[in-house]
Amino acid sequence: MKISNEIKVGLTIIVATVIFILGIRYFEDLPLFDSTYDLVAEFENAGGLIGGNIVRVNGVSVGSVTSVYISESTGKVVVEFHVDPTIPVTEGTYATIGGFDALGVVRMDLTLGPASAERIPEGGLVDTRVTSDLMAEMTTRAPAMLTNVDSVLEELEGVMAQANAMVSTPESDIRQILSSARGSMRQIETLLADESNRIARILAHADSLTADLDAALGEDGEAVASLMDQMETTLATLNEDLERFQATNEQLDEILRKLNDGEGTLGLLLNDPSMYHRMDATLSDLNALITDFQRNPGRYLKEMNLVDLF
């Protein structure tokens, strides 16, 4: 079938027109076939908002800004925008401008009103609120902050100068400490160099020792465990003995206390001097008797008969 020129041209024009209209709606973020829900908001400051910027509800993109202009009568910024018709923009909804103006990503955020409230009619006015702009805040605070930074830097400079002076004078403490530290380091270095062989040997020994220990632990795990058990019982016995020893000790303490206090025979023996005195007197009497006996044996022996004796 031969397609006539009229059909070719007509078809091309129709397809192109459809693509054109749908393409514009697509890039405007409008639903391709549904109608839209247009709303208006008035701001004191648009904060860099332009037509085409995104409108979000709870962080979800639901529409876009159609146009932004300054009202001739009120001088306020009028923002026309449209959102998905399924979004319940009820009374009590308010709009804020967010995003980062310096990067060109400004957007409008809607905070929806209570779901029970009445919907704002098509073309109706949405309340607005001012949010703190991060950039603006930084701009207002920057001068004070810069002054602080300046003074800090000046102080730092003074400190640095002092430190510099300290380090650069040859007789300063730091210099001396550094030089002695350097000397110590050199000594340690030479020591290490001299003794490197021995250190290596020691390390090797330690290594083999650790390895042996490791092996012993690995192989004789059960032996070690039984050893540990025995040690435990031994310790328990020791503990009991110690308790008994403690009791004995206490008794001994009691005895010693009695001795000290002079209770009982032994106590009196230790503490009463009268016995000593009496014994002393007795001994001196005995002494005198023996001396007298040696001097005059006859006095004592005249009565005694030798025959009687033997």
Partner 1 sequence: MVPLTSHIVINPVAAFGRYSRLLFHAFGAVAEISSYRSNVWRQMVKVGVESLPIVILAATFSGAVSTVQTSYQLVSPLIPRSIVGAIITSSMILELGAVVTGFILAGRVGARIAAELGTMRVTEQIDALETMGLNSVGYLIVPRVIAGVVMFPILYIAACFFGIGGGMLIGELGGFVPFEEFVFGAREYFQPFDPIFGIIKSLVFGFLITSISCFKGYYTQGGAEGVGRATTQAAVASCVFLLLADLLLAVVLL
Residues that bind partner 1 (CB under 8 A): 4-6, 8-9, 12-13, 16-17, 19-20, 23-24, 27-29, 51-54, 64, 66, 103, 105
Least spacing, CB of residue 101 vs partner 1, in Å: 14
Mapping DSSP to helix (H, G, I), strand (E, B) and coil, where does residue 95 land? strand
Nearest-CA neighbor of 80 among 122, 22, 31?
122
* Cβ proximity to partner 1, 65 vs 120, nearer residue: 65
What is the Cα–Cα distance from 280 to 286, expressed in whole angstroms?
A: 10
CA atoms within 13 A on the CB side of 209: 6
The dihedral through the CA atoms of 127, 132, 133, 137 has a sign that is: positive
* Cβ proximity to partner 1, 5 vs 251, nearer residue: 5
Least spacing, CB of residue 7 vs partner 1, in Å: 10
Residue 119 DSSP symbol = B
Residue 63's φ and ψ, nearest 5 degrees, are: 175, -165
* Cβ proximity to partner 1, 68 vs 120, nearer residue: 68
* Cβ proximity to partner 1, 64 vs 113, nearer residue: 64
Least spacing, CB of residue 88 vs partner 1, in Å: 23
Least spacing, CB of residue 132 vs partner 1, in Å: 23
* Cβ proximity to partner 1, 29 vs 109, nearer residue: 29
Least spacing, CB of residue 13 vs partner 1, in Å: 6
CB contact set of 249 (below 8 Å; sequence gap of 6+): none
Least spacing, CB of residue 59 vs partner 1, in Å: 14
Mapping DSSP to helix (H, G, I), strand (E, B) and coil, where does residue 111 land? strand
- Scanning the chain, the segments in alpha helix (DSSP H) are 5-27, 134-168, 173-194, 196-219, 221-261, 264-271, 274-295, 297-301, 306-309
* Cβ proximity to partner 1, 64 vs 93, nearer residue: 64
Given a contact cutoff of 8 angstroms between Cβ atoms, the answer to whether 79 and 41 are in contact is: yes
